[in-house]
């Protein structure tokens, strides 16, 4: 088992990563927090795969439990599900000393975390990520929230978990495309912060035995960035590499292109443009595309620069008249590059394959 401790200005919490943590979760949670009543939150797929077994174990360990199960998928990450979840917490008389247990991917973690930030003005919550993306990214760092009609993640709160338990055994049942979303984020961490991790990923998919270490490394990188900039005022933006254009791709495709796949394309576009402007070392693009292809991740945009520029200009990372895009001067390093709003389209044009 691996452990990373995250220390933000307001909170300190452990991230435990290892095979079989689900079975041990009752003991672990009671060591940390005693036996609060736990509200298990899971989507229907994850509940069926792991939720029922987890409930049984937790009951055996003496925990009182209630469960909230919602239909899987991004479409559930909305205010209606959030309201239903809060109502369910109230009906089950959860108090300020009880806790929410978010078992699932990023959708579950974001939704449950937001409820934990708001119900009774805040109660504790534990993340149990079951997707690779949630393990390396969304379960750590404290960004929570839901989508509204106007856009993704537009309503939310910063709410750090009290503990993260990542049972790597649960990742075995992931469909390949969902797994690939997480792989894209791992490659992103390599690109922005860790050449060694990138080189390891570029060797190709024999990473099963190394998964625990890879997740640990990604969590360490994310923890370091979050510790330096908990509320996303500056340095945290490097985590956004590939994301401004990635979000645009998700939006235009009506979310048919999933997050990690969109980020893969976004990283390629921004790197090709940066390389053509001399902002990035010569061979960076070739290395990046070679690596992404090893995991069957896409590297080409089905959309034009004009189509991509529009939603990118509405990105919530926009400040005034400039957009801060993240570029990698070389693999393992990242910095912001400001592009004027009216020059974004031509920047993206440079990023498209001719």
Ligand X SMILES: NC(=O)c1ccc[n+]([C@@H]2O[C@H](COP(=O)([O-])OP(=O)(O)OC[C@H]3O[C@@H](n4cnc5c(N)ncnc54)[C@H](O)[C@@H]3O)[C@@H](O)[C@H]2O)c1
**Residue choice 63, 77, 115, 189 for contact with ligand X (CB under 6 A):** 77
Identify the CA nearest to 329 among candidates 296, 289, 281: 281
Instruction: List Cβ neighbours of 293 (8 Å cut-off, separation of 6 or more).
Output: 299
Q: Which two tokens stand for residue 96?
A: 């300020």
Question: Per CB under 6 A, which region of 19-27, 44-52, 284-292, 304-312 contacts ligand X?
Answer: 44-52
Identify the CA nearest to 225 among candidates 207, 242, 244, 241: 241
Asked if 193 touches ligand X (CB under 6 A), the answer is: no
Question: Per CB under 6 A, which region of 126-134, 262-270, 311-319, 329-337 contacts ligand X?
Answer: 126-134
73 or 302: CB nearest ligand X: 73
Q: Which two tokens stand for residue 184?
A: 């894209």
Asked if 105 touches ligand X (CB under 6 A), the answer is: yes
- Kindly state the smallest distance separating residue 176's Cβ from ligand X, in Å: 11
143 or 216: CB nearest ligand X: 143
217 or 272: CB nearest ligand X: 217
**Residue choice 21, 68, 101, 137 for contact with ligand X (CB under 6 A):** 137
Cα-flanking dihedrals φ and ψ of residue 345, to 5°?
-60, -45
Contact by Cβ (8 Å): 300, 266: no
**Residue choice 82, 115, 143, 292 for contact with ligand X (CB under 6 A):** 143
Asked if 72 touches ligand X (CB under 6 A), the answer is: yes
Cβ neighbours, 10 Å, residue 324: 17
141 or 351: CB nearest ligand X: 141
Where are the alpha helices (H) located in the chain, listed in sequence order? 21-33, 44-46, 52-60, 79-91, 106-118, 132-133, 176-193, 195-202, 211-228, 243-252, 259-276, 284-294, 305-313, 344-351
**Residue choice 107, 115, 326, 344 for contact with ligand X (CB under 6 A):** 107
Asked if 248 touches ligand X (CB under 6 A), the answer is: no
Question: Per CB under 6 A, which region of 55-63, 98-106, 274-282, 341-349 contacts ligand X?
Answer: 98-106
For the four alpha carbons of 146, 151, 152 and 158, in that order, the dihedral sign comes to: negative
**Residue choice 108, 240, 280, 287 for contact with ligand X (CB under 6 A):** 108
- Kindly state the smallest distance separating residue 154's Cβ from ligand X, in Å: 11
Asked if 106 touches ligand X (CB under 6 A), the answer is: yes
Cβ neighbours, 10 Å, residue 222: 24
CA dist 37 and 109 (Å) reads 18
Question: Per CB under 6 A, which region of 42-50, 265-273, 283-291, 335-343 contacts ligand X?
Answer: 42-50
CA dist 241 and 141 (Å) reads 16
**Residue choice 1, 28, 49, 155 for contact with ligand X (CB under 6 A):** 49
The number of residues that bind ligand X (CB under 6 A) is 30
Instruction: List Cβ neighbours of 38 (8 Å cut-off, separation of 6 or more).
Output: 29, 58, 63, 64, 65, 66, 98, 99, 100, 101, 126
Question: Per CB under 6 A, which region of 24-32, 83-91, 102-110, 200-208 contacts ligand X?
Answer: 102-110
Identify the CA nearest to 38 among candidates 22, 55, 21: 55
105 or 242: CB nearest ligand X: 105
**Residue choice 30, 37, 153, 213 for contact with ligand X (CB under 6 A):** 153
Asked if 298 touches ligand X (CB under 6 A), the answer is: no
- 């440079």: which residue's tokens? 350
Instruction: Write out the residues near ligand X by the rule CB under 6 A.
Output: 43, 45-46, 49, 72-74, 77, 104-108, 110, 130-131, 133-134, 137-138, 141, 143, 153, 170-171, 173-174, 178, 181, 259
């Amino acid at each position: 088992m691996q452990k990373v401790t995250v220390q933000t200005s307001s909170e300190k919490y452990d991230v435990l990563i290892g095979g079989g943590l689900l079975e041990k979760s009752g003991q672990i949670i009671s060591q940390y927090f005693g036996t609060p009543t736990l509200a298990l939150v899971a989507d229907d797929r994850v509940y069926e795969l792991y939720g029922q077994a987890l409930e049984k174990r937790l009951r055996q360990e003496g925990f009182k439990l209630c469960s909230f199960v919602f239909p899987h998928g991004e479409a559930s990450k909305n205010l209606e599900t959030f309201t239903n979840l809060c109502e369910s917490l109230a009906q089950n008389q959860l108090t300020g000393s009880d806790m929410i247990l978010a078992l699932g991917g990023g959708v579950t973690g974001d939704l449950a975390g937001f409820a934990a930030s708001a119900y009774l003005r805040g109660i504790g919550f534990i993340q149990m990520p079951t997707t690779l993306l949630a393990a390396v990214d969304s379960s750590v760092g404290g960004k929570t929230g839901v989508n509204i009609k106007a856009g993704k993640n537009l309503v939310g709160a910063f709410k750090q978990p009290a503990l993260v338990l990542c049972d790597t055994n649960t990742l075995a049942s992931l469909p390949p495309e969902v797994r690939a979303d997480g792989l894209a984020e791992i490659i992103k961490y390599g690109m922005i912060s860790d050449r060694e991790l990138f080189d390891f990923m570029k060797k190709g998919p024999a990473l099963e035995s190394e998964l625990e270490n890879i997740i640990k490394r990604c969590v360490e990188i994310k923890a370091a960035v979050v510790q330096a900039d908990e509320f996303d005022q500056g340095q945290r933006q490097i985590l956004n590499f590939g994301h401004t254009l990635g979000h645009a791709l998700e939006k235009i495709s009506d979310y048919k292109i999933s997050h990690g796949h969109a980020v893969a394309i976004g990283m390629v576009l921004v790197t090709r443009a940066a390389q053509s402007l001399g902002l990035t070392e010569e061979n960076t693009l070739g290395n990046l595309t070679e690596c992404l292809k090893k995991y069957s991740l896409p590297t080409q945009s089905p959309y034009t620069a004009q189509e991509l520029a529009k939603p990118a200009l509405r990105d919530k990372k926009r400040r005034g008249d400039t957009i801060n895009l993240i570029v990698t001067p070389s693999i393992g390093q990242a910095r912001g590059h400001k592009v004027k709003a009216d020059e974004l389209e031509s920047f993206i044009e440079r990023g498209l394959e001719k």
